[in-house]
Structure 1
Amino acid sequence: NTRGGGSVGSRSTLDLAVDECVIATDDQAEGARELVITVVKARHLPKMDAGFLGVGGKVDAFCELDIGGVRFATEPKKNTYSPDWGSAFSFPTAVGAVSSPLVIKVLDWNQVGAPDLVGEVVVSRARLGQMVSAKEGWEGTDTYIIQKEGAQVTGHDKSASLLTVSYKLLVPKPSFPGMVPEKGGKKGTRLVKFTIVNGRNLPAMDTFGRCDGFVELVYEGELYKTSVVKNNFDPDWGDVLEVRVDDSSRECGSDVLIKLFDWNKVGSPDLVGEAVIPKARMSEIVRCRAGAEGADTFR
C-alpha cells in the first residue's frame, strides 16, 4: 500500500514497504545533498531472550545501518517487543551518486558474545536515488516488513515484525558561513584557533564498548591533537588547537586534514574517518578580519 496514490512497483524480497511515502522529485536537482535517516521504531518483534529460569525476557533490540560501507548504530532498547529509538543519522551524498542500497539490520544485544540477528530491511539503491533527487526539505516515512533468510519475521504476537524509518533531504550549507576575507587583507602572522567541539553518531569501534574518540589536525606538516573521550558515541571535546600562519598575504601551502581516531590501549589507533579543509578555503580564513568566527559540521 502507498500514501498519496503512488505505486510500490516490483521489489526485492527484502525491500518490502507496507506503508510507503510519496517522493516529490525535482527534475532540476543537482549537486551535494544530505539525507537524514531516522530509525523511528520497531513493532511486533519476536522473543529472543529466555529470561531467568525461562520466565520473562523479550528482546534487547538495536539497529545497524550500512550504506556502501558507511555504518551507523542505534542504542539498544532492552527487554521490549516495541522499541522506540528516534535515532537520526546523516548520510552525505550527491544527486546521481547513490551506488549502494541501505541495509538495516535489527539485532538482539547480548551482554556476553555477539548480538543475534533478528532480521533486516534493504532499501533499494533506486529508492534512495529518488529520495536524494527530491525537492529540498522533502521528508517522508516508510514502514517495512523485517525479513530473515527471504521470509518475513513473525513477532511474539504472531504479527509481522515491522520497522519504521523516516527520511529528510537537506542541501549542505557552505563551510564556515560568515567568515568573509577582508579586502586587501593585512600581511603578517595570523593565529587560527580551531575548536574541536564534538562528534555525533560515531560507529562502534571496540568489541565490548563504543568508541574512544580523539581528533588529529594536520597542517603543513604540523600535528595537533585533542584529548581522548572514552567509550562514547557522542564525544564532547571543546579542545582548542592553535595553528600559526606566518604570512597571511600568501596562499596557504597545504590543506587542513582532520582525522578522527579510536584510541587503543595497546597498539595503534584505528581511523574512524577524516575531513579536509581545502587550502584555498584556509587561505580565505587567514585573511578574514581579526576576531572573525565561523563553524562547520563535517561528515
Structure 2
Amino acid sequence: MNTRIVLSTAVLIFSLPLFSQNYYQQGFFIRGGASYTLSQPYSIPFNNWENRTLTDSTLDIQVNYFSPGSGAFAHFGFGYQINDIFRFGLDVAYQFNSSSTVKDVYTTRIDTLDFTFESPRTLTSNAFLFTPEVTFMLPMEYITRPYIRVGFPIIVGVIQEKSSVLLPNNSNFYDFIEMQTNYIGRFSLGLSGALGIEWSLDDRLFLFTEVRALGANFSPRRSELVFYEVNGQGQLNQFARYERETVYDRNIRITDQDEIIANEPSKARPFSLPFNHIGFSVGLTVQLF
C-alpha cells in the first residue's frame, strides 16, 4: 500500500509539466524591463596628494560613516526557451547614477589651534553589465509562473566622486573647495540572481515582476581629477599630470626612492569596492518563434 502511494506521488510530481498548460513554446524570446535599486554604501580612499601637510599646519583625514544610495537600472535580454521549465539567455543592462554619500571627518591644526569638521562626498556609479544567465521556471497554472534566475555578469563601470569642503588656510581664513574625480573600472565578474513571477497576457506576451540582486566588486583601472575650484576659481591647471591622473597597477612596487615624473600619471595599487545592489524590476517577455 505504501509503495503504491509513493509511486503514484512520484509519477504525479514528474508529470506536472505535462498536466500544466504548456504556454511556453520552445524557441527564441526577448525581454526588457526597468528596476529601482538600492546600492551598498562604499567609500573611496584619498589619493596620496590629498593627504598633504600644509605650511605651519597638518591635516589628517578619515572616513567616518556613509549612507546607502539608490538608482535606476534598465535591462534588455534575449535567449532560447529550451522547454517548459528551462531557458538560457544573455541580459544586457545599464545602471544609471546609483549614488552614495560619504561623510569624512577632518582634523587639522594651524599654529596652536585645532579644528575638526565634516565634509560629504557623493559617489555616483554608472555601469554596463553583460550577464549570461539560466532561468528555472516552476510548473504552475496557465496565468502565472514563478521562476528563479541565476547569472554571471561581466561589469565595466565608472564612479564619479564629487565633494565640496571648507578648509582652513594659512591666513586664518577658509577656502571653499569643489572637486570631481572619475574612476574608470576594470572588467569585473560578479554573481546575480532573481526571484520573480510571469503573468500571461497573450500566447506570446508575458508581464514579469521580480526581485533582483547583484554581488560584485569594482576595481579602478585609472582615475582622473576633472574639476577643481577654490572659492569659485578654477585651479585644475595648477596641478601636474601626476597629481591629476593615477594608474592602478597590481604589480607595482612603491618605495621611498621612487622618482615622481610630473608629466606622467602617478601609479598606485588597485583597491576594490563592493559593487552590490538589490532592486525591484518590472518588464515584458515576448516569445518570438
Normalising by structure 2, we get a TM-score of 0.27
Q: Larger C-alpha radius of gyration, 1 or 2?
A: 2
- Flag the structure with higher strand content: 2
